[in-house]
Amino acid sequence: MRKDYFKNILVLGIFVFLAFTFQTSAQGDCDDLVTTPIELQMGLDTQPVGFNVVAGQQDGRIFRDGIPSVCPFKVYPGDFNLGTPYNWTAVAFYASATTCITINFDPDSGVTPCVTNGHAHVYQELGGLNMNPFDPAAQATNFLGDSGLSAIGPFSVEVEEGWFEVVFSNTSAQDNCSVQFTFENNGGAITCEPPLAVADNALQNAIAILPNPAGNVMTLSNSSNVALQTASIYDINGKLMITIDLTDMLQQKAINVSALATGVYMVEIQSENASTVKRLVKL
């Protein structure tokens, strides 16, 4: 009896492990945006792992007019159900040139599929300098196009060189349902980060933020002892929150971030001839 009990516990443990592993498996690959589906859950800024993600709630949502956008853009179809909160998640990408992109949207996949409750749209600010052009309080601003409906299928928009966001909203208020998406082959024009110069690439590889997510203190690690100048921490709206002098830094420096609210921030690290940006999640 005792043997069977422990056998059952072991089997249950393996089942839970496999289920957890399945549900937390790869959610996309920045090196393959075409064939590997990118998966996320609405309202969670921790998915997909390894991407530049922000999430939250918006007031009302975009009206689904049933017309998937085509290049170059689509006229904003209007707001719907203002006064009701809806979860959203935005994933930022970088275009190395003006490109007509096609996104294959699949609301029927993932851990908890959205099915008829998922909606996809694309945003870019003129000039492409803003990494987070989507404003949940002004959804018509910077709008380029959308899926038009909650169904499997492609839609297209033209993005200029620079940052743009693919935004997903849950049309069933605040549920954390799942969607997947990929890009049609674009010749490598779309990436998760802008192309780095040689000096920037060396700095990118040398710098790490530990731990990440961080509590009240984050540690900046400089594995190559690159001479650094400053670290600047920005919120997702581009507002400068903290600037830190790094001229006396060696391999590590502890930075007090207790004044920051819970959320996602961008940390820009400057050396004499290069710069790099790291994503920080503040708990």
Residue 9 has pLDDT above 90, yes or no: no
Residue 19 has pLDDT above 60, yes or no: no
Residue 182 has pLDDT above 80, yes or no: yes
Mean pLDDT of 45-49: 85
The total domain count for the chain is 2
Question: What is the pLDDT at residue 7?
Answer: 42
Q: Which residues pair with 103 in a beta bridge?
A: 155, 183
Do residue 208 and residue 172 come from a single domain? no
**Edge-to-edge order in the sheet of strand 153-159:** 38-41, 178-183, 99-106, 153-159
Model's pTM, two decimal places?
A: 0.69
Predicted confidence band of residue 176 (pLDDT cuts 50, 70, 90): confident
Considering only CA atoms, which of 84, 77, 83, 42 is closest in space to residue 63? 77
Give tens-digit pLDDT for 248-281: 998 999 999 999 999 889 899 998 888 888 889 9
Do residue 210 and residue 140 come from a single domain? no
Mean pLDDT of 137-148: 97
Residue 237 has pLDDT above 80, yes or no: no
Predicted confidence band of residue 129 (pLDDT cuts 50, 70, 90): confident
Question: What is the pLDDT at residue 238?
Answer: 79
Considering only CA atoms, which of 3, 138, 4, 155 is closest in space to residue 65? 155
Q: Which residue has the tokens 């790869």?
A: 26
Output the six-digit token pair for 111. Answer: 């851990």
Do residue 174 and residue 220 come from a single domain? no
Predicted confidence band of residue 174 (pLDDT cuts 50, 70, 90): low
Q: Which of 153, 175, 191 is the last residue of a domain?
A: 191
Question: What is the pLDDT at residue 196?
Answer: 65
Do residue 208 and residue 152 come from a single domain? no
Do residue 115 and residue 238 come from a single domain? no
Do residue 174 and residue 216 come from a single domain? no
Q: Which domain holds residue 212?
A: 198-282
Mean pLDDT of 41-53: 88
Do residue 97 and residue 212 come from a single domain? no
Mean pLDDT of 129-133: 90
On whether residue 241 sits in a domain, the answer given is yes
Mean pLDDT of 33-52: 91
- 97: which DSSP letter? S
Do residue 65 and residue 154 come from a single domain? yes
More confident residue, 203 or 159: 159
Q: What is the CATH number of the domain that holds 90?
A: 2.60.120.380
Q: What is the CATH number of the domain that holds 206?
A: 2.60.40.3080
Contact 136/88 with Cβ under 8 angstroms?
yes
Output the six-digit token pair for 114. Answer: 């959205």
Do residue 186 and residue 212 come from a single domain? no
Question: What is the pLDDT at residue 194?
Answer: 81
Question: What is the pLDDT at residue 197?
Answer: 63
Do residue 127 and residue 208 come from a single domain? no
Considering only CA atoms, which of 193, 134, 136, 138 is closest in space to residue 165? 134
Residue 204 has pLDDT above 50, yes or no: yes
Do residue 205 and residue 186 come from a single domain? no
